[in-house]
Homo-oligomer: A and B are copies of this chain.
């Protein structure tokens, strides 16, 4: 098995290293990840600046390729210029912090996996659902398990998954389940400040609001001690809309 490993916390982060250490036990792993942290870049790509690739050493040996760009850039560039053959799997993570519910659309971690899926390769994003807890070992082990699981079960035949691992010890985790993207939203608040020159500026803070506690939602699963695995797609069309419309009405008269 050949795996392209990337993330959005950056190639020097703890999460990608923990996952790398587990994945190299079962596969050939090529690391191509941003040189610097890219959190909340969403599905950004770099158009107006050139991309640069650096060879990165960790613990005194070659670790992978650092790219001055976004997670999506890393995957595009890896497929076009670094990998000699297509990988069997694209894995993005381990992100330090949850990518659940409406936050999925801001996620650079998920966008890298989406890019892999768009290139036709089975892909998953994996996140440790806490910014405080920093033991990545359980999430790394599940990442390795899930990579093997997808590789060994070709009949699953689905390209894109979003995995969130609760911040718990192995024995505290109840299992894993397929979930749907929850409807929990965040109420954004900005803190207004004045700089030394008298100019106003704003910091994004944010208070969680619970809109959704659906039995099968990603948040709920993690809250209840399960690893959440959500099958995603990148076709954003709301097909349910088409049942409701009357096609005869579509005129544009001024």
Contact = CB atoms under 8 A, between A and B. Distances in A.
A207 to B, nearest CB: 11
A172 interface: no
A79 interface: yes
Interface stretch (A12-20, A86-94, A178-186): A178-186
A145, A190, A232: residue with the most chain B Cβ atoms closer than 10 Å: A190
A111 B252 contact: no
A29 to B, nearest CB: 19
A241 B156 CA distance: 9
* Secondary structure dominating the interface of A: mixed
In order of increasing CB-CB distance, the 3 nearest A-B pairs are A42-B43, A42-B42, A231-B241
A203 interface: yes
Nearest to A162: B236
Given A42-B45, A50-B202, A203-B50, A237 B181 contact: yes
Q: How many copies does the complex hold?
A: 2
A18 B248 CA distance: 29
A122 interface: no
Nearest to A148: B254
Given A46-B204, A80-B190, A180 B237 contact: yes
A188 B177 CA distance: 35
A24 to B, nearest CB: 16
Contacts of A237: 180-181, 230-233
Contacts of A177: 247, 250
